[in-house]
């Protein structure tokens, strides 16, 4: 099974409510979709969202990287030679992790189709239930309380609470969310780099003193401030999760070996796909740390790939794959299915995606 052609599309999906973090506000999902076509007529699906504030990517930058650098290296290569395919992608260009992830997800989809098995099985996993959290966007405390109550009603037990736009308001936001969600809800607090290291220690200590009991606090300080991250981690009781600070397996090794954070958030768009994600899972195992499998504003192609990876590795104990749950509709037929917070995967080969409706061919 050889790769014959690469096709690029845009997938547009309206969100239920605007997605707001300390870094950005997004009204609708608009992601690049790539399909790889083989000489036997099989199609592999991949996807990447343009997350300029985290990965530096835009739709044209992802599309250009694929069209001009990655696709030419793949045409004519055998699908089953994953090692050679990785080497080709890595040799083509540095960085550009979202473009590589989109292509690499499509390669793994084809690899699963080649061996006629679901991806999680080929990656060494067995079927287990995944329970995702749901993002509560950063807004006024009353609005966040309403969103939290709605999320609990929709069947979500774990909430990812976005803060970090205004340190003076963040404690009030968390109190309002805890009150609305109830004592049983699991709260994951994500500051998206919005605090200074001293602000973070003061706020997290206040959150602890107020009995708000968050499960963890994610990325309190700037992505490149590893000393600041370590400062916070060593001064609070609440576990600290590194997200924007960890792109590569090297980043994960550096952070875990120096105890700059307790856990790491793996996202395919930061690692450049499943190969890097699996490497981070192995590094976390070596340091006896646990991982979250997260996503950017990803639709059900990239999230399905992340769910397969999560199902394959027990060290991935926390799931933040709520992209499709934030959408008003799902144009992806097959792939991961959501029942409230529960994610199930089909037994079909590869990602298990049958088709994607409403794709617009990308012209640029
Ligand atoms: Mg995060």
Dist. CA 169–CA 238, nearest whole Å: 20
Indicate whether 49 pLDDT > 90: yes
Indicate whether 32 pLDDT > 90: yes
| Domains of the chain, CATH where assigned | 3-116+356-361 (3.30.390.10), 121-353 (3.20.20.120)
Task: Note if 162 is an active site residue.
Answer: yes
Given 162, 175, 222, 270, the catalytic residue: 162
Indicate whether 212 pLDDT > 80: yes
At residue 129, the pLDDT reads 85
How much distance in Å is there from the Cα of 190 to the middle of ligand 1? 6
167-193 pLDDT per residue, tens: 999 999 999 999 999 999 999 999 999
Percent of the chain whose pLDDT exceeds 90: 97
284: Cβ–Cβ under 8 A, 6 or more apart, which residues?
252, 256, 263, 264, 290, 291, 315
1-16 pLDDT per residue, tens: 999 999 999 999 999 9
Instruction: Determine contact, residues 278/112, Cβ cutoff 8 Å.
Output: no
How much distance in Å is there from the Cα of 360 to the middle of ligand 1? 29
At residue 345, the pLDDT reads 97
Instruction: Determine contact, residues 30/90, Cβ cutoff 8 Å.
Output: no
Instruction: Determine contact, residues 290/315, Cβ cutoff 8 Å.
Output: yes
Token digits of residue 77? 């290569």
Residues measured by CB to lie within 5 Å of ligand 1, the ion: 190, 218, 243
């Amino acid at each position: 099974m050889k790769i014959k052609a690469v096709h690029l599309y845009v997938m547009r999906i309206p969100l239920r409510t605007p997605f707001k973090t300390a870094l950005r506000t997004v009204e609708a999902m608009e992601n690049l979709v790539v399909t790889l076509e083989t000489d036997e007529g099989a199609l592999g699906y991949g996807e990447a969202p343009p997350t300029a504030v985290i990965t530096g990517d835009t739709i044209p930058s992802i599309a250009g990287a694929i069209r001009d650098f990655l696709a030419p290296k793949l045409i004519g290569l055998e699908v089953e030679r994953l090692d050679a395919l990785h080497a080709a992608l890595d040799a083509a260009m540095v960085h550009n992790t979202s473009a590589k992830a989109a292509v690499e997800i499509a390669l793994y989809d084809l690899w699963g189709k080649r061996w006629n098995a679901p991806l999680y099985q080929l990656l060494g996993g067995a079927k287990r239930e995944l329970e995702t959290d749901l993002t509560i966007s950063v807004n006024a405390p009353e609005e966040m309380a309403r969103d939290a109550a709605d999320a609990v009603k929709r069947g979500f037990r774990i909430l990812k609470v976005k803060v970090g736009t205004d340190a003076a308001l963040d404690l009030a936001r968390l109190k309002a969310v805890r009150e609305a969600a109830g004592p049983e809800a699991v709260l994951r607090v994500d500051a998206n780099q919005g605090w200074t290291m001293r602000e973070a220690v003061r706020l997290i200590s206040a959150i602890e003193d107020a009995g708000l009991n968050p499960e963890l606090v994610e990325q309190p300080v700037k992505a490149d401030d590893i000393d600041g991250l370590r400062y916070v981690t060593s001064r609070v009781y609440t576990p600290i999760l590194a997200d924007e600070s960890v792109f590569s397996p090297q980043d994960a090794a550096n952070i875990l070996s120096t105890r700059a954070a307790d856990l790491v958030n793996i996202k395919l768009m930061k690692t450049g796909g499943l190969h890097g994600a699996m490497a981070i899972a192995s590094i976390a195992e070596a340091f006896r740390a646990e991982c979250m499998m997260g996503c950017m504003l990803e639709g059900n192609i990239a999230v399905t790939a992340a769910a397969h990876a999560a199902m394959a590795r027990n060290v991935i104990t926390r799931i933040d794959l709520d992209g499709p749950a934030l959408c008003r509709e799902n144009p992806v037929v097959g792939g991961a299915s959501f029942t409230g917070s529960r994610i199930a995967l089909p037994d079909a080969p590869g990602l298990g995606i049958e088709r994607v409706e409403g794709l617009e061919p990308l012209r640029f």
